Amino acid sequence: MSGRRTLERQQVWVYLAAIAGGLVLGSLQPDLGALLEALLWPVLAALLYTTFVQVPVLRVRDAFRDRRFVLAVLLGNFLLIPLVVGLVLPWLPDDPALRLGVALVLLVPCTDWFITFTQLGRGNTSLAIAVTPLNLLLQLLLLPVYLWLLLPAADLGTALRTEEILPAALGLLGLPLVAAALTEAWVEAKAERGIWRERLGRWTVPLLALVVFQVAGTQVGTVLHAGLVLLTVLPVFAGFLLVVPLLALGLTRWLRLPMDAGRTLAFSMGTRNSFVVLPFALALPAGWETTVVVVVFQSLVELFGMVFYLWWLPGRLFRSPPTWG
């Protein structure tokens, strides 16, 4: 466990090193791009499987034991944040690929390092684990609805072609999710099998590092030409990280949640599920590569934001118990 925790604490630098390595390799050996792209899909499927194994999908009913917290999570992640995204999108440059990337990555709450940062940030880990499968299932159901409401139909029709998106959804999301559910059932059948969930969890950070290495290597041209694009979305992603904890604080006070539950809510609203939407971004047709870069870039901004959260949330924003008067 200590090795896994150490790796999780240092994951920001691991991912930065992986991206830098991928950019260097892609620049020096552009012929390797096809090989990296071919290997990306099975590695991404393995990453999603190890991620989903950590999500107790078969225990989704456990989330409703604390109904006030569940209400706060549902309002925060699936009402307030879509409203924030809807307000932000019109102010972005009129670039459909950029807007789709921002929408994809900000509309889906995280299901993996959200739990890690909740634990590190003195949140309620039990609540985080309980609500994670609910977040996962709802985001998969609601994401198409949000995209349809927030983005022009013409852009969606061009980008999200059924013959390209369905294989990504079924193959890279459906199969790992079903495999993870079967694994969970097998693990929970006998107590001694619980070690396998921990063993699989150790692979999440290395696999994610390998994925961003491959993405950087295959998209090096797009990354190098996307400097202005990234400067455009950087304030959006940074502002998002500053605004959503304030929304979480408002929900915490309104629903009279304990401070540790409030921190958990803030981490849930602040972390996004970038590598669950990555298969959709990678399956987009030619000309939409910027969407992939935006999705990966958001995850890096978020990781630095989580370092800030670990100081800000427990030490400042959610420090003292509220007085309900």
- Residue 6 CA neighbour count, 13 Å, CB half: 3
CA distance 146 to 148: 5
| pLDDT digit string, tens, across residues 84-117 | 999 999 999 999 999 999 999 999 999 888 988 9
CB 196 within 8 A of CB 2: no
Query: Which residue is associated with the tokens 């309104």?
Result: 254
Smallest Cα–Cα separation from 45: which of 219, 175, 189, 228? 175
The top-level CATH class assigned to 2-317 is mainly alpha
| d(C-alpha 160, C-alpha 42), whole Å | 22
Give the C-alpha separation, 203 to 49, whole Å: 10
C-alpha to C-alpha distance for 225 and 266, rounded to whole angstroms: 34
- Model pLDDT, residue 166: 65
User: Within its chain, how far is the Cα of 43 from the centroid?
Assistant: 17
Give CA 7 to chain center in angstroms.
18
**H helix and E strand count, the chain:** 18, 0
Provide the residue type at 284 as one letter.
L
Q: In Å, how far from its chain's centre is CA 168?
A: 17
Tokens 């102010």 -> residue:
91
Running along the chain, 325 residues long, what does each successive block of 10 average in pLDDT? 68 86 89 86 90 79 87 98 97 93 96 88 92 91 93 80 64 83 87 82 89 88 76 95 97 96 97 88 85 90 92 90 49
Phi-psi region of 159 (alpha: psi -120 to 50; beta: other; left: phi over 0): alpha
- Contact residues for 112 (Cβ-Cβ < 8 A; gap 6+): 51, 54, 55, 204, 273, 275
Q: Which residue has the tokens 């995204």?
A: 85
- Quote the CA–CA distance of 280 and 153 in Å, as a whole number: 17
Give dist(CA 103, CA 124) in Å, integer: 28
Residue pair 296/215 in contact by the 8 Å Cβ criterion: yes
Q: Are 155 and 100 in contact (CB under 8 A)?
A: yes
The Cα 214–Cα 19 span in angstroms is: 8
**Structural domain boundaries of the chain?**
2-317
The partner residues of 109 in beta bridges, in order of sequence, read: 272
Place of tokens 């440059």: 93
How far is CA 16 from its chain centroid? 17
Which pLDDT does position 16 carry in this prediction? Answer: 87
Q: What is the pTM of this model?
A: 0.88
pLDDT score recorded for residue 325: 42
| Cα–Cα distance, 86 to 91 (Å, whole number) | 10
Please report, in angstroms and rounded to a whole number, the separation of the first and last CA atoms in the chain.
43
CA dist., res. 131 & res. 66, Å (int)? 10
Please, are residues 205 and 8 in contact by the beta-carbon 8 Å criterion?
yes
